[in-house]
Chains A and B, each alone.
Chain A
Amino acid sequence: AQSVTQLDSHVSVSEGTPVLLRCNYSSSYSPSLFWYVQHPNKGLQLLLKYTSAATLVKGINGFEAEFKKSETSFHLTKPSAHMSDAAEYFCVARTGNQFYFGTGTSLTVIP
């Protein structure tokens, strides 16, 4: 079975500094990988997805993620944090018909 590990439950950055949210997955083959964002009391919104094309994936709002098969990682980055980026972020892997979620990383942006 697939599992997704988000290495940090909370990340705090200052506005204007880089963001790094870490995600590792386990699988015997490369799954489809996603990052979703959830703002308080809202549903989940897709940030970006990897489906075996380019290993560097660009998403919305300046986020990007790099798929590294050798490290089974799919870390999410953004060069400069904005206050509006404060939210919960979920790394998700899809194998077959099911989607497997990490436990989430809460991002705080300090003004």
Chain B
Amino acid sequence: DAGITQSPRYKITETGRQVTLMCHQTWSHSYMFWYRQDLGHGLRLIYYSAAADITDKGEVPDGYVVSRSKTENFPLTLESATRSQTSVYFCASSVSDTQYFGPGTRLTVL
């Protein structure tokens, strides 16, 4: 029972490079979310998806792109990474008002 997984768990990249963070869930939950966690800000919503091929912006979407061709996958792409995108990224899925979180990806942009 894997639940929700994220890969990679740790990533170091350079400014200007494209990076994709993967998120996979085994439950077939309709809703999925991407958050970033930064000191002093808690978790902030980047994008969310209500179903396959339906995505919407959250609080801090600039510089990020998402897609959802399959219900179980929700990748997050940084098209041209910047230092300000250094953060811990959490993917979540939800059903019946409850969110279930992945273990997080720690991304460092040099």
A residues sitting closer than 8 Å to B (CB atoms) are: 32, 34, 36, 42-46, 49, 51, 90, 92, 94, 97-99, 101-104
17 residue pairs from A and B, CB less than 8 Å apart: A43-B90, A43-B101, A43-B103, A44-B90, A44-B99, A46-B98, A49-B97, A90-B43, A97-B31, A97-B50, A98-B45, A99-B33, A99-B99, A101-B44, A103-B40, A103-B42, A104-B42
Q: In the complex, are the beta carbons of A98 and B101 less than 8 A apart?
A: no
A-chain residues with CB within 8 Å of residue B40 when the two chains form the complex: 103
The A/B interface has a contact count, at CB < 8 Å, of 47
Contact (Cβ within 8 A) A44 B101: yes
Would you give the shortest CB distance from B84 to chain A, in whole angstroms? 18
Q: Are A102 and B90 in contact (CB under 8 A)?
A: no
| Distance from B26 Cβ to chain A, minimum over Cβ atoms (Å) | 15
Q: Apart from A45-B101, A51-B97, A103-B41, what are 5 other A-B pairs with CB-CB below 8 Å?
A: A32-B97, A43-B104, A46-B98, A92-B99, A103-B42
Q: Is the CB of A98 within 8 A of B44?
A: no
Q: 5 smallest A-B Cβ distances: which pairs? A: A43-B101, A101-B42, A103-B42, A101-B43, A44-B101
Complex alpha-carbon distance, A101 and B33, angstroms: 13
